[in-house]
Protein backbone atom coordinates (compact mmCIF):
# COMPACT_ATOMS: atom_id res chain seq x y z
CA UNK A 1 0.00 0.00 0.00
CA UNK A 2 2.82 2.34 0.87
CA UNK A 3 4.30 1.75 -2.58
CA UNK A 4 0.96 2.45 -4.26
CA UNK A 5 0.50 5.65 -2.26
CA UNK A 6 3.94 6.78 -3.36
CA UNK A 7 3.31 6.29 -7.09
CA UNK A 8 -0.30 7.58 -7.00
CA UNK A 9 0.67 11.24 -7.70
CA UNK A 10 2.75 10.16 -10.69
CA UNK A 11 -0.16 8.10 -12.03
CA UNK A 12 -2.56 10.98 -11.50
CA UNK A 13 -0.21 13.32 -13.35
CA UNK A 14 0.15 10.90 -16.27
CA UNK A 15 -3.62 10.51 -16.46
CA UNK A 16 -4.21 14.29 -16.37
CA UNK A 17 -1.64 14.86 -19.14
CA UNK A 18 -3.21 12.15 -21.29
CA UNK A 19 -6.76 13.57 -20.89
CA UNK A 20 -5.47 17.08 -21.58
CA UNK A 21 -3.65 15.86 -24.70
CA UNK A 22 -6.69 14.09 -26.13
CA UNK A 23 -8.97 17.15 -25.89
CA UNK A 24 -8.96 19.00 -29.22
CA UNK A 25 -7.12 22.27 -28.84
CA UNK A 26 -9.60 25.18 -28.66
CA UNK A 27 -9.61 27.39 -31.75
CA UNK A 28 -7.53 30.57 -31.29
CA UNK A 29 -6.95 32.28 -34.61
CA UNK A 30 -6.61 35.76 -36.06
CA UNK A 31 -7.68 36.37 -39.67
CA UNK A 32 -6.44 39.40 -41.56
CA UNK A 33 -8.05 41.07 -44.55
CA UNK A 34 -8.20 42.05 -47.41
CA UNK A 35 -8.70 38.53 -48.67
CA UNK A 36 -8.58 37.64 -52.36
CA UNK A 37 -11.88 36.79 -54.09
CA UNK A 38 -12.31 32.99 -54.03
CA UNK A 39 -14.90 30.48 -55.19
CA UNK A 40 -16.88 29.32 -52.16
CA UNK A 41 -19.29 26.99 -53.97
CA UNK A 42 -17.56 23.80 -52.81
CA UNK A 43 -17.51 24.98 -49.19
CA UNK A 44 -21.21 25.87 -49.28
CA UNK A 45 -22.23 22.62 -51.03
CA UNK A 46 -20.31 20.52 -48.50
CA UNK A 47 -22.12 22.37 -45.74
CA UNK A 48 -25.56 21.48 -47.10
CA UNK A 49 -25.04 17.95 -45.83
CA UNK A 50 -24.09 14.43 -46.93
CA UNK A 51 -27.10 13.96 -49.27
CA UNK A 52 -26.48 17.09 -51.31
CA UNK A 53 -25.81 16.91 -55.06
CA UNK A 54 -22.57 18.78 -55.68
CA UNK A 55 -21.50 19.83 -59.14
CA UNK A 56 -18.04 21.35 -59.59
CA UNK A 57 -18.33 25.11 -60.05
CA UNK A 58 -17.00 26.40 -63.37
CA UNK A 59 -16.35 29.98 -62.33
CA UNK A 60 -12.82 31.27 -62.94
CA UNK A 61 -12.19 32.31 -59.30
CA UNK A 62 -9.32 30.58 -57.48
CA UNK A 63 -10.03 27.88 -54.85
CA UNK A 64 -8.03 27.27 -51.73
CA UNK A 65 -7.43 28.53 -48.26
CA UNK A 66 -7.60 32.24 -47.40
CA UNK A 67 -8.91 34.44 -44.59
CA UNK A 68 -12.37 34.60 -46.14
CA UNK A 69 -12.70 30.84 -46.68
CA UNK A 70 -11.55 30.26 -43.10
CA UNK A 71 -14.12 32.72 -41.79
CA UNK A 72 -16.82 30.98 -43.83
CA UNK A 73 -15.71 27.56 -42.59
CA UNK A 74 -15.90 28.64 -38.94
CA UNK A 75 -19.36 30.06 -39.53
CA UNK A 76 -20.55 26.89 -41.29
CA UNK A 77 -19.39 24.78 -38.34
CA UNK A 78 -22.59 25.87 -36.50
CA UNK A 79 -24.83 22.93 -35.57
CA UNK A 80 -27.31 24.40 -33.09
CA UNK A 81 -27.25 28.18 -32.76
CA UNK A 82 -25.88 31.31 -34.36
CA UNK A 83 -26.13 34.82 -32.92
CA UNK A 84 -25.14 37.60 -35.30
CA UNK A 85 -24.64 41.18 -34.16
CA UNK A 86 -23.60 43.11 -37.26
CA UNK A 87 -23.45 46.78 -38.14
CA UNK A 88 -23.45 46.08 -41.90
CA UNK A 89 -24.30 42.87 -43.70
CA UNK A 90 -24.15 42.99 -47.50
CA UNK A 91 -21.85 40.07 -48.44
CA UNK A 92 -23.94 37.71 -50.61
CA UNK A 93 -21.68 34.75 -49.82
CA UNK A 94 -21.97 35.20 -46.05
CA UNK A 95 -25.74 35.68 -46.40
CA UNK A 96 -25.93 32.44 -48.39
CA UNK A 97 -24.07 30.66 -45.59
CA UNK A 98 -26.42 32.05 -42.94
CA UNK A 99 -29.51 30.99 -44.93
CA UNK A 100 -28.03 27.54 -45.40
CA UNK A 101 -27.55 27.20 -41.63
CA UNK A 102 -31.12 28.37 -41.04
CA UNK A 103 -32.44 25.72 -43.48
CA UNK A 104 -30.26 23.11 -41.75
CA UNK A 105 -32.16 23.84 -38.52
CA UNK A 106 -29.63 26.07 -36.77
CA UNK A 107 -31.39 28.69 -34.62
CA UNK A 108 -30.24 31.96 -36.20
CA UNK A 109 -30.85 35.37 -34.63
CA UNK A 110 -29.62 38.62 -36.16
CA UNK A 111 -29.22 42.07 -34.63
CA UNK A 112 -28.29 44.93 -36.94
CA UNK A 113 -28.14 48.70 -37.30
CA UNK A 114 -31.26 50.43 -38.63
CA UNK A 115 -29.43 53.00 -40.77
CA UNK A 116 -27.03 50.48 -42.28
CA UNK A 117 -29.86 48.01 -42.93
CA UNK A 118 -31.40 50.49 -45.38
CA UNK A 119 -28.30 50.92 -47.55
CA UNK A 120 -28.09 49.41 -51.03
CA UNK A 121 -26.94 45.80 -51.14
CA UNK A 122 -27.92 44.98 -47.57
CA UNK A 123 -28.80 41.29 -47.21
CA UNK A 124 -31.04 41.86 -44.18
CA UNK A 125 -34.27 41.92 -46.23
CA UNK A 126 -33.33 38.60 -47.83
CA UNK A 127 -32.62 37.00 -44.46
CA UNK A 128 -35.97 38.19 -43.12
CA UNK A 129 -37.67 36.88 -46.26
CA UNK A 130 -36.07 33.48 -45.59
CA UNK A 131 -37.73 33.45 -42.18
CA UNK A 132 -34.73 34.43 -40.06
CA UNK A 133 -35.42 36.56 -36.98
CA UNK A 134 -33.90 40.04 -37.28
CA UNK A 135 -34.02 42.91 -34.80
CA UNK A 136 -32.57 46.41 -35.16
CA UNK A 137 -31.81 49.45 -33.05
CA UNK A 138 -33.79 52.67 -32.83
CA UNK A 139 -30.95 54.67 -31.34
CA UNK A 140 -29.09 57.74 -32.55
CA UNK A 141 -25.74 55.96 -32.04
CA UNK A 142 -24.70 53.06 -34.24
CA UNK A 143 -25.16 49.39 -33.42
CA UNK A 144 -21.53 49.05 -34.44
CA UNK A 145 -20.74 45.49 -33.24
CA UNK A 146 -19.41 42.96 -35.77
CA UNK A 147 -19.57 39.63 -33.97
CA UNK A 148 -20.98 36.14 -34.32
CA UNK A 149 -21.40 33.46 -31.65
CA UNK A 150 -21.37 29.89 -33.00
CA UNK A 151 -23.04 27.14 -30.92
CA UNK A 152 -22.43 29.14 -27.70
CA UNK A 153 -18.86 27.86 -28.12
CA UNK A 154 -16.96 30.12 -30.48
CA UNK A 155 -16.76 33.90 -30.88
CA UNK A 156 -15.94 35.54 -34.20
CA UNK A 157 -15.29 39.26 -33.70
CA UNK A 158 -13.21 42.14 -35.00
CA UNK A 159 -13.19 45.21 -37.22
CA UNK A 160 -14.71 43.50 -40.27
CA UNK A 161 -18.19 44.46 -41.41
CA UNK A 162 -19.73 41.66 -43.43
CA UNK A 163 -19.48 43.49 -46.76
CA UNK A 164 -17.62 42.53 -49.93
CA UNK A 165 -15.90 45.93 -49.87
CA UNK A 166 -14.45 45.24 -46.43
CA UNK A 167 -13.53 41.63 -47.19
CA UNK A 168 -11.76 42.37 -50.45
CA UNK A 169 -10.42 45.92 -50.07
CA UNK A 170 -9.93 46.94 -46.45
CA UNK A 171 -7.28 46.20 -43.84
CA UNK A 172 -9.33 44.30 -41.26
CA UNK A 173 -8.98 41.72 -38.52
CA UNK A 174 -11.20 38.98 -37.17
CA UNK A 175 -10.41 37.10 -33.96
CA UNK A 176 -11.85 33.58 -33.69
CA UNK A 177 -11.65 31.98 -30.26
CA UNK A 178 -13.21 29.18 -28.30
CA UNK A 179 -12.96 30.58 -24.80
CA UNK A 180 -15.81 30.07 -22.38
CA UNK A 181 -15.37 33.37 -20.53
CA UNK A 182 -15.07 35.55 -23.64
CA UNK A 183 -17.95 33.77 -25.41
CA UNK A 184 -20.15 34.23 -22.34
CA UNK A 185 -19.46 37.98 -22.26
CA UNK A 186 -20.53 38.32 -25.90
CA UNK A 187 -23.59 36.08 -25.45
CA UNK A 188 -24.74 38.16 -22.49
CA UNK A 189 -24.30 41.32 -24.57
CA UNK A 190 -26.29 39.73 -27.39
CA UNK A 191 -29.18 38.74 -25.09
CA UNK A 192 -29.23 42.26 -23.57
CA UNK A 193 -29.46 43.85 -27.01
CA UNK A 194 -31.94 41.23 -28.27
CA UNK A 195 -34.34 42.05 -25.43
CA UNK A 196 -33.89 45.80 -25.79
CA UNK A 197 -34.57 45.66 -29.54
CA UNK A 198 -37.76 43.62 -29.10
CA UNK A 199 -40.20 44.93 -31.76
CA UNK A 200 -42.75 45.50 -28.98
CA UNK A 201 -40.46 48.34 -27.87
CA UNK A 202 -40.19 49.95 -31.32
CA UNK A 203 -41.65 53.42 -31.60
CA UNK A 204 -43.51 54.13 -34.84
CA UNK A 205 -43.90 57.71 -35.93
CA UNK A 206 -47.11 58.58 -37.79
Contact partners, residue 132, CB within 8 Å, separation at least 6:
98, 99, 102, 108, 109, 110
The strand ranges marked E within 67-136 are 81-86, 107-112, 133-136
User: Under the criterion CB under 8 A, does residue 6 sit at the interface with a second copy?
Assistant: yes
Which residue among the candidates 129, 137, 151, 188 is catalytic per the annotation? 151
Please, what is the minimum distance in Å from the beta carbon of residue 155 to a second copy?
A: 9
Can 146 be counted among the known catalytic residues? yes
Can 180 be counted among the known catalytic residues? no
DSSP state of 25: P
Of 131, 143, 47, which Cα lies nearest the Cα of 89? Answer: 143
User: Under the criterion CB under 8 A, does residue 102 sit at the interface with a second copy?
Assistant: no
**Exposed, middle or buried by CB within 10 Å (0-12, 13-18, 19+), for 108?**
buried
Contact partners, residue 202, CB within 8 Å, separation at least 6:
138
| CB of 30 or CB of 59, closer to a second copy | 30
**Dihedrals phi, psi of 30, to nearest 5 degrees:** -120, 125
In whole angstroms, what is the distance from residue 183 CA to residue 78 CA?
14
User: Under the criterion CB under 8 A, does residue 182 sit at the interface with a second copy?
Assistant: yes
User: Under the criterion CB under 8 A, does residue 24 sit at the interface with a second copy?
Assistant: no
User: Under the criterion CB under 8 A, does residue 114 sit at the interface with a second copy?
Assistant: no
Find out whether the peptide bond into 34 is cis, omega within 30 degrees of 0: yes
Among 30, 52, 59, 61, binds a second copy (CB under 8 A): 30
Which residue among the candidates 74, 102, 136, 146 is catalytic per the annotation? 146
Piece of the chain touching a second copy by CB under 8 A; list 66-74, 92-100, 116-124, 156-164: 156-164
User: Under the criterion CB under 8 A, does residue 68 sit at the interface with a second copy?
Assistant: no
Can 151 be counted among the known catalytic residues? yes
Among 24, 60, 64, 141, binds a second copy (CB under 8 A): 141
**Exposed, middle or buried by CB within 10 Å (0-12, 13-18, 19+), for 152?**
middle
User: Under the criterion CB under 8 A, does residue 18 sit at the interface with a second copy?
Assistant: no
User: Under the criterion CB under 8 A, does residue 154 sit at the interface with a second copy?
Assistant: no
Size of the site for a second copy (CB under 8 A): 44
User: Interface residues with a second copy (CB under 8 A)?
Assistant: 3, 6-7, 9-10, 12-13, 28, 30, 32, 34, 85, 87, 137, 139-147, 157-160, 165-166, 168-173, 175, 177, 179, 181-182, 185-186, 189, 193
Residues assigned a catalytic role: 144, 146, 151
Amino acid sequence: WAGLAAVAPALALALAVSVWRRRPRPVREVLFFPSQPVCTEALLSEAVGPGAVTRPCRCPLPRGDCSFSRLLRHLLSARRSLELCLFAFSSPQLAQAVQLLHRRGVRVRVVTDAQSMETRGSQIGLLRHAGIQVRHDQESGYMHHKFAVVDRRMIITGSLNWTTQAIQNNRENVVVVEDHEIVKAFLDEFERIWEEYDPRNYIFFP
